Amino acid sequence: MINLKEQISLFKIIGGQLSKKVECIAIGGSAMMFYGVKNSTKDVDLVFLKIEDLEDVKEVLFESGFDERKNVKGIFREDEEAAKPIMMDGKDTRFDLFLNEVIGFKIHEKTIERLKEVHEFGIFTVKIASPEDILMMKGCTERERDRDDAAELIRKFNINWDIILDESSRQTKIGIAAFPILLYDFLTELKENYKIDVPKKITKELIIMAEKRIEELRKKDKLIRVTKYYKK
Amino acid sequence: MDLIELAKRLEGLQTVDSIAISLGIARRTAVNYVWALRKEGFVETIYGKRKIRMYRISPFKALKFGYPGLYEYLNQNSKIKIYPPYIERIYDHKPTAEEMIVKAVKTGDLRTVLSSLALFNKIKDWTRLSQIAGKEKIGRKIGALYDAARTIIRVRKMDKKTRKSLLRSKIDGKFIVENARTRDLEHIEKMWKVHLPFNKADLEAYKE
C-alpha cells in the first residue's frame, strides 16, 4: 500500500529518469488519492495512449526495482481476449500499465476532455480521469474493494449522470456491447448494499439501452457472453 | 450538516448572499458555513470586481503538494483571469515566467495567450526564454507577442541578442491561435512573419 505522498515520490522518480515526454492517465485508487477521496492504494493504475510511452515507463520502473509479472491471466470479454495490463511488482506497491483500454472500457477523446486534473513531474505528465470515468471503469470489475471505492465516489462527488448514460451508449459501440448491463448490475448492487443514491431514471435508461443493443446483436445473429473481470 | 453534501450542493462560484438564498438561511449562518467548508479544504476565495468576495466551492479538496500550474500562475500574475479547465500542479521545480509563457502559447487558446502577455514583465532570463521557445518551435511567435505586449503594457526590455535569436528561429505553423489574424497589428506580423490572434481593442483589458 502507498499513500499520496509516496505515489508523488514514485512519479517524480519516473519523471526524473525518462528521456522523452510521456503522458498517461491515472485511474482507480491512484486517481482517487489525488481527489482526496482515498488515503492509500494497493496498485497504481495508469493508462497510456501510445505503446512507446508505456514501454518507456515500464523500463524506468524495471530500473527502479519493479519486476514484471509474467503469469498475467487473459481477461475474456464477450469471447474476445481483452488487452492484458502490464503488471510491475514492487516491494510495497504494484503498477498496472494499460494501453488505450481498461478491461474492455475504451479510452477515447471524450475521456480525455473530461479530465479534471493534470500533474507534471518534469517530462512525465499524469492526467487524472474524471470521477464519472473512474466509476464506469470500476463497474467492469467484480472486486469488493472496487465497490467500496465506487460508493465513496458517488457519496463525495456530484456525479454527472448524463455523462454516464452518454458514455455507456458509446461503449456499446466501441467497447463492450453489454456495458450497460454490467453497469446496471453494478449500480443496483451499490444502491442495495451501500444505500447509495442512484437516480431511478438512470438505471431504467441503462436497461432500455442494453435491451436495444442486445436486440440489434440478436438480429445480426451475434450472441454475446457477458463476463466480468476478476483480478486477484 | 454534512459538509461533503453541502459542498456538493453549493458546487461552483458563490457569494455569501447566494449561499444564504440557495439554502434559505441567514447571511450570518452562510458565513459560518463558508468558514466550516474552508476548514475542510472545499473553498477557495477569489475577489470579484469592487473587491467582492466570491467563493469557489468544490467537493474536490485543493491539493497542497507541488506548485501551481499554468492557469493558477496566470491568475496570480495577470490582469486577465482565466477559469481553469482543470487543476494543474507541477512537482519537480518551481515554475518560471519563461516556461509559463511558452506553455500558454502552446495551448493555442486566445484568452490564455492574451493573459500570458503580462508575464513578459516577469521575465528574468531572456536567454532561457529564447531557448525554451526555440525548443518548442514557437520562437517567432513569442517575439511577436512581446512586441504586441509592448504596445499596451510596460514590459522589461528584451536584449538584442535574444531578439535576434528569436527572429532567426524556426516555427511550426504561422498561426498562434488557429485561423485568427489581427487587423491592426500588421506591422508586427510582418516583422515576425506570424499571425497575431488579437486586435488592439482586445488588449484594452490591460488598461482597465
* B206 has pLDDT over 90: no
pTM of this structure:
0.84
Instruction: For chain A, say whether B164 makes contact (Cβ under 8 Å).
Output: no
* B14 has pLDDT over 80: yes
pLDDT number for residue A230: 47
* Cross-chain Cβ contact A116/B87 below 8 Å: yes
Q: Where are the domains of chain B?
A: 3-57, 67-206
Q: Can you read off the three cell numbers belonging to residue A187?
A: 449500480
Q: In terms of pLDDT, which residue wins out, B44 or A23?
A: A23
pLDDT number for residue B25: 94
> Which of chain A's residues have a Cβ under 8 Å away from the Cβ of B107?
none
- Assess: ipTM above 0.85: no
State which amino acid sits at residue A197. D
pLDDT number for residue B107: 94
Paired sense of beta strands A43-48 and A40-41, if any: unpaired
| Beta-carbon count within 10 A of B197 CB | 23
* B196 has pLDDT over 90: yes
Each of the 232 residues of chain A gets a pLDDT tens digit; together they read 899 999 999 999 999 999 999 999 999 999 999 988 888 998 999 999 999 999 999 999 999 999 998 877 655 555 555 567 899 998 888 999 999 988 878 999 999 999 989 999 999 999 999 999 999 998 877 677 888 999 999 988 889 999 999 999 898 888 777 788 888 888 998 998 888 888 999 999 998 988 888 788 778 776 665 555 544 4
Which residue from A8, A117, A158 is facing B87, i.e. has the nearest CB? A117
As a whole number of angstroms, the distance between CA B184 and CA A187 comes to: 57
Which of A25, A120, A196 would you mutate first to test chain B, the one with the most B CBs within 10 A? A120
* Cross-chain Cβ contact A118/B61 below 8 Å: no
**Hunting for cell 488557429 — which residue is that?**
B178
As a whole number of angstroms, the distance between CA B83 and CA B100 comes to: 16
Instruction: For chain A, say whether B41 makes contact (Cβ under 8 Å).
Output: yes
> Which of chain B's residues have a Cβ under 8 Å away from the Cβ of A4?
65
* B194 has pLDDT over 90: yes
With helix as H, strand as E and coil as C, how does chain A read? CEEHHHHHHHHHHHHHHCCCCEEEEEEHHHHHHHCCCCCEECEEEEEECCHHHHHHHHHHHHHCCCEECCCCCCEEECCEEECCCEEEECCCCEEEEEECEECCEECCHHHHHCCCEEEEECCEEEEECCHHHHHHHHCCECCHHHHHHHHHHHHHCCCCHHHHHHHHHHHHHHCCCCHHHHHHHHHHHHHHHHCCCCCHHHHHHHHHHHHHHHHHHHHCCCCCCCCCECCC
Instruction: For chain A, say whether B135 makes contact (Cβ under 8 Å).
Output: no
Q: Can you read off the three cell numbers belonging to residue B46?
A: 477569489
pLDDT number for residue A29: 92
Instruction: For chain A, say whether B193 makes contact (Cβ under 8 Å).
Output: no
DSSP secondary structure string, B91-102? -SS---HHHHHH
For residues B190-200, give the mean pLDDT. 93
* Cross-chain Cβ contact B92/A156 below 8 Å: no
Q: Which tens digit of pLDDT belongs to each residue from B72-88?
A: 999 999 999 898 889 89
As a whole number of angstroms, the distance between CA A37 and CA A120 comes to: 20
Tell me which residue of A161, A160, A180 sits closest to A170, measured CA to CA.
A180
Which of A9, A118, A124 would you mutate first to test chain B, the one with the most B CBs within 10 A? A118
Measured CA to CA in angstroms, residue A145 lies from A46, A54, A230, B160 at distances of 18, 26, 12, 61
Instruction: For chain A, say whether B3 makes contact (Cβ under 8 Å).
Output: no
Which residue from B61, B63, B86 is facing A115, i.e. has the nearest CB? B86
A187 contacts: CB under 8 Å, gap ≥ 6: A139, A198, A202, A203, A206
- Helix or strand run (H / E) with residue B164: helix B160-168
> Which of chain B's residues have a Cβ under 8 Å away from the Cβ of A39?
none
% of chain B with per-residue pLDDT over 70 = 98
pLDDT number for residue A231: 47
Which residue from B60, B69, B92 is facing A118, i.e. has the nearest CB? B69
pLDDT number for residue A226: 57
Q: What angle do CA A82, A128, B99 make, to 5 degrees?
A: 130
Q: Does 3.30.70.3280 match the CATH number of domain B3-57?
A: no
* Cross-chain Cβ contact B8/A158 below 8 Å: yes
Closest residue in A to B3 (Cα) is: A156
β-bridge partners, B53: B47
- Helix or strand run (H / E) with residue B87: strand B87-90
State which amino acid sits at residue B80. I
Q: Does 3.30.460 match the CATH number of domain A2-219?
A: yes
As a whole number of angstroms, the distance between CA A80 and CA A83 comes to: 9
pLDDT number for residue A232: 42
Q: Which tens digit of pLDDT belongs to each residue from B50-68?
A: 777 889 898 877 667 899 9
Q: Can you read off the three cell numbers belonging to residue A26?
A: 491515472
Largest CA distance in chain A: 54
* B127 has pLDDT over 60: yes
B103 contacts: CB under 8 Å, gap ≥ 6: B70
Instruction: For chain A, say whether B84 makes contact (Cβ under 8 Å).
Output: no
